[in-house]
Every structure is written in structure tokens, then in C-alpha cells.
Amino acid sequence: MESGQLYAVFQPIVALEAVELFAHEALIRGPVGTDLHTPDALLGAAAAEGLGYALEYACVVAALRTWGQLQAPGRIFVNISANALTHWFEDQGPQSLLALLRDLKISPRMLVLEITEHERVADMDHLAGIVQRIRSVGVALALDDFGDGRSSLRLWSQLRPEFVKIDKYFTRAISAHADKLKTLQALQQIAAIFGTELVAEGIETSEDLRVLRDLGIELGQGYFLGHPDRQPMRHVEAQAYRVLRERHIAVLPELSRAVAHGQLRHIALLDAPTVTSHTSNDALAELFLAHTELHAVAVTEGDRPTGLINRAQFMNQYSKLYYREVWRRKPCAAHIKRAPRVIERNHSVAALIGIL
């Protein structure tokens, strides 16, 4: 730490619908060619010497210093354990973080503190107070590895993080596991309630990326989207860009086998209200609240359907801080998907479930 041999590499986080770089996560490395090169080795050695908090603080400083020097666009996610964060703010206060960012010429709104080891939190109320002080200086919060068996829905509810990173167990091979897909759909509903954006970690194949794209997961991270590197990426990797832009829909065989065969014409139609592109965001939100059974609403011009608005994606945006104050009376046109997937009435139910 004293010799300044800690350095940061940066892994991209991609906005899946917009197909653009959203942020990078800073990952710390020790001296190359030594036993302390990996993060686990560094943390283990520091803990053995009673320097765990000091190392974490040094890692935050090293990551932010490099990011400030690079002047890269987008947000920067920086890891820190819940206990180290509490210790830092109790010792120095939130103004110390603000002063550090000012010295490094980084806007507080570009920083996301990614909280690790949150399963060890003994006093959630105290941590929630720390988080409020963090937000008071403009810094956002993310919870790391949610769903690894140690995470808490209560913590998600109390802290209301702007981002939750879904553990890679639930994203790897999701294209072949219906249970993982169902789990992510449940987490999407929770995220909509809390106004949180989900980050799918561990994306390593085109098949998994297609499923996550079609589910409407907001953000993704993994080797298929980009490896950690000393230089932040400037563009989405070509292989990932092609997958995110294509119209090929992922099919999940596990879900298809579980459904009885039949045609869509035999499924009862739902009598649902519609909106126009001029309907206000407030009116659309009221419609979704009044019709909890609707997963989407059709947009029409006269008698002609022109698009769909997804409930989860709209409500996620609508519930964000300041969104209603700025956009509540404006038309909902920005949320319309003009080219939704269309399927014929004589298609099988199994085919529809596969697409969904």
C-alpha cells in the first residue's frame, strides 16, 4: 500500500436495451508476479495483519485516482465492504469522500459504491443511516452478489440501492434452466417495487445474453461483454453488439415441455384498456395501478395498434427519484416499443412460451 503498487483494472457494464456502455467496475490487483496479485490474496494478507480496513480504503483511492486520470465517460462502480464503509464514515465522515472526489476531479454522481460482504452487517439501521449520508453527497449505491444465499431482502428494502447485482449463479446457463429464469423474473418484480435497476453478472455466452436481453434486464456484465483491462472500453464488444441488436428470440425448451400443446386461438382474450402516444406518464401509471393483471398495455392510433409499453420497465423508470416531478405530465411516447414481437393465432402455446 505504501509503495503504491496497487492498481485498478476496469470491466464494462453494458446497458442491454440501449446497447451502449453504462459504467465500469474497478477491480484491484496487487504487484504482478507476486503472491499478492489477486484480490483474495491481498485481502487475506491484510486481514492477517489487522489492516483490512486500511487496504479497502487504499483500494478505493487507487481505483478512483486511476479513473480520474483516465477521464473515461460513464459511471464507476467501486467495491467496499459494509463494515469498512461504516468504519470509514464513522472515522472521517462523508465529507472525506466528497473531498477525495473533488481532488480527483470526479463528479459524485458518477460514483457507485458497490457494497460487498453485506451479509455480515449486525446493525442494518446504522448502515441505512450511513447510506443516507452517502446519498446526501450525490453518490449512488449497489448491492453485490444478490442471491448468493447470504443476501437479505430486508437489506434491499431498507437501503433501497439504485443497483442490485444478481449473483452469477442465476445468470450462467440461464438459457438452459427455466428455474433460473423464473427466479430472475421474481427479482424483476421486487426491483420494480424498490425502484432498483438490476445488473446481471457472469454473462459468458451469446445464448445467455439473448435470454437476459429478452427478459428486459437493464444492465449486464461478464466476459462476453468485456474482460477487465487497465484501459476502460470505449465501445460495446462487437460480438455482444451483434447479439443485442439482432431480432432472434431465445427459446427455452424446459418451459416449452411443461406446457400442454394447443393453439393460441383457444386462449381467452383479455379485455384491456389502451393508451395513445399522447397519454401522460401520470395517466399511464394510474392505469397500471388500477389493472394489476396487465403486464403491458397496447398503444393505438385510432383503431390501429402501433406499439406496446412494458409494465415493469415503465414503472421502474416512473418510480425513480425526480422522474415524476420532471416527466409526469409529458406524453408516454418515449416508453413505446414500436416493433414488439408478433405471433399468429394459429401458433402453438408451446411456441409462445418458448418466446416468452
Q: What does each C-alpha distance from 235 to 24, 80, 210, 218, 285 come to in angstroms?
A: 12, 27, 19, 17, 34
Span 125-170, pLDDT tens digits: 888 999 998 998 899 999 998 875 555 788 898 899 999 999 999 9
pLDDT band at 259 (very low <50, low <70, confident <90, very high): very low
Highest mean pLDDT: which of 106-115, 148-157, 253-262, 340-349?
A: 106-115
Which of 15-24, 35-44, 335-344 has the highest average model confidence (pLDDT)? 15-24
User: How does pLDDT run across 195-242, given as a tens digit for each residue?
Assistant: 999 999 999 999 999 999 999 999 999 999 999 999 999 999 999 999
Q: Which domains does the chain have, with CATH numbers?
A: 7-245 (3.20.20.450), 253-355 (3.10.580.10)
What is the C-alpha to C-alpha distance for residues 24 and 11, in angstroms, rounded to an integer?
5
123: cell is 446493525
At position 146, the amino acid (one-letter code) is: F
CA 16 and chain centroid, separation? 10
* pLDDT > 50? residue 257: no
- Phi and psi angles of residue 262, each rounded to the nearest 5 degrees, phi first: 175, 175
Per-residue pLDDT, 260: 44
Cα–Cα distance, 22 to 130 (Å, whole number): 26
Rounded to 10 degrees, what is the CA torsion of 176, 182, 185, 189? -170
C-alpha cell at 54: 486500511
HEC sequence for the chain: CCCCCCEEEEEEEEECCCCEEEEEEEEEECCCCCCCCCHHHHHHHHHHCCCHHHHHHHHHHHHHHHHHHHCCCCEEEEEEEHHHHHHHHHHHCHHHHHHHHHHCCCCHHHEEEEEECHHHCCCHHHHHHHHHHHHHCCCEEEEEEECCCCCCHHHHHHHCCCEEEECHHHCCCHHHCHHHHHHHHHHHHHHHHHCCEEEECCCCCHHHHHHHHHHCCCEECCCCCCCCECCCCCCCCHHHHHHHHCCCCCCCHHHHHCCCCCEHHHCCCCCCCEECCCCEHHHHHHHHHHCCCCCEEEEEECCEEEEEEEHHHHHHHHCCCCHHHHHCCCEHHHHCECCCCCCCCCCEHHHHHHHC
Alpha-carbon span 14 to 251, nearest angstrom: 23
Is the distance from CB of 128 to CB of 159 less than 8 angstroms? yes
| 63 against 350, higher pLDDT | 63
Which residue would you say has higher pLDDT here, 231 or 94? 231
Phi, psi of 209, deg, nearest 5: -65, -40
* pLDDT value for 34: 79
- For residue 306, give the amino acid letter: T
Q: Is the dihedral of CA 250, 251, 253, 258 positive or negative?
A: positive
The Cα 161–Cα 111 span in angstroms is 13
